[in-house]
Amino acid sequence: MKAGANHTAFQVSIGGALASSKAAESRRQLLQLQVELDMDGPTAHCLVDLADGSPPAAGDPVEVKLDSGGGMQTVFTGIVAGAEASPTGQRIVAHGAFARLGQTEVEGSYASVAADFIVKDLIGKAGATAGTVAKGPELAAWALHRGPTALGHLRSLALLCGAGLFADGSGKIHCAAPKTGSADHSFTFGETVIRLAVQQLPPAFDSIEVWGEGAASAKGADKAHWLSTDLSGVSAKACVGADGTVQTGKLGERPLRLREGALRSGEAVEAVAKAWATSLAARLLRGSIEVFAAPKVVPGDLVEITGLPDGHAAAGLLGQGRQLHVRGVRHVLDRQRGALTRLSF
């Protein structure tokens, strides 16, 4: 395997202290660093091991930047959640914006809005910043009540939109549909890929049937509030083929049935069915790869692996230019292995 980047520069700012790969500006010694951003949770946290020194206060700002050759990239933004003594110094735990969302309870009601309006409003009410947000279906009415936190409500809306909920390195919260198009990042087998584990797994559901309420589709938008005995106009289907192809108007062998009274039109249920099926298609390939430091990758990105030998076990899955949808990113920097990035799918 060819050698990776010779050096990964770093800047870890905690409160007023800075640990840096540049000795002239560094005030603390970094022993180990781990940053994790993940849709499955969702999660945004950071672990920093420093040599002896004054511990930071809870709530102090934390920012982590890495540079593997393309300029400094912010890979984490958050606040100190706690610090504890370790055998070699101290370990600092920092949380990203999801912690704030998980601690905030909200109340509110909405009428005749798209799901993205509610998502952005929720993020703003919790004091966070919204990034990319999928529009989602039109909702006749939606209520937010105390009990579930802002994060709980966001997770429900993301599921309804078939979107992934994640934070980026700058701390923005995204509720985004799976990307399409060309890959955002390319890694070469035998050069930048250190470990590879990937498999194709059938999802628990291979299709979805969505049911709404109301008579808008049959009687017109001004009759959307009517409850109809014939719900065929507010139902939709979509399925996912073994190759990831999404087909609307059809059910598979293992359908999921979703009922949501806030969906009052055929367009709304069709949007949800297609979004759910597209989300399922993005998760047919599961696994992870480990590469030399890749600070530009964030959850939601598309990755391709090139240079796989024809006889490699993964060539049948990835050899035709098939892309992987990144769900989790973990950056690790330590003295034993250097700087590595683990991408999970």
pLDDT of residue 6: 52
Residue 90 has pLDDT above 60, yes or no: yes
pLDDT of residue 326: 98
Residue pLDDT, tens place only, 8-53: 999 999 998 999 999 999 999 999 999 999 999 899 999 999 997 8
pLDDT of residue 320: 66
pLDDT, mean over the chain:
90
Residue pLDDT, tens place only, 293-306: 999 999 999 999 99
Look up the pTM and report it. 0.90
Residue 2 has pLDDT above 90, yes or no: no
Three-state SS for the chain is CCCCCCCCEEEEEECCEEEECCCCCCCCCEEEEEEEEECCCCEEEEEEEECCCCCCCCCCEEEEEEECCCCCEEEEEEEEEEEEEECCEEEEEEECHHHHHHHCECCEEEEEEEHHHHHHHHHHHCCCCEEEECCCCEEEEEEECCCCEHHHHHHHHHHHHCCEEEECCCCCEEEECCCCCCCCEEEEECCCEEEEEEEECCCCCCEEEEECCCCHHHHCHHHCCCCCCCCHHHEEEEEECCCCCEEECCCCCCEEEEECCCCCCHHHHHHHHHHHHHHHHCCCEEEEEEEECCCCCCCCCEEEEECCCCCCCCHHHHCCCCCEECCEEEEEEECCCEEEEEEEC
- Parse the chain into domains and list their residue ranges: 1-95+180-200+285-345, 103-176, 207-281
What CATH number should be reported for the domain whose range is 103-176? Answer: 3.55.50.10
- Contact indicator for 65, 73 with CB cutoff of 8 Å: yes
* Strand order across the beta sheet in which 17-20 lies: 17-20, 9-14, 61-67, 73-86, 89-95, 43-50, 30-38, 328-334, 338-344, 285-292, 193-200
Residue 260 has pLDDT above 70, yes or no: yes
Fold type of domain 1-95+180-200+285-345: Phage tail proteins - horseshoe like beta roll fold (2.30.300)
pLDDT of residue 86: 78
In percent, how much of the chain has pLDDT > 90?
A: 75
In the structure, what pLDDT confidence band is assigned to residue 1 with cuts at 50, 70 and 90?
Answer: very low
pLDDT of residue 226: 52
Residue pLDDT, tens place only, 263-296: 988 899 999 999 999 999 999 999 999 999 999 9
Q: Mean pLDDT across the stretch 151-157?
A: 96
Residue pLDDT, tens place only, 177-234: 999 999 999 999 989 999 999 998 888 899 999 999 865 545 555 555 555 555 556 8
Position 38: which residue type? D
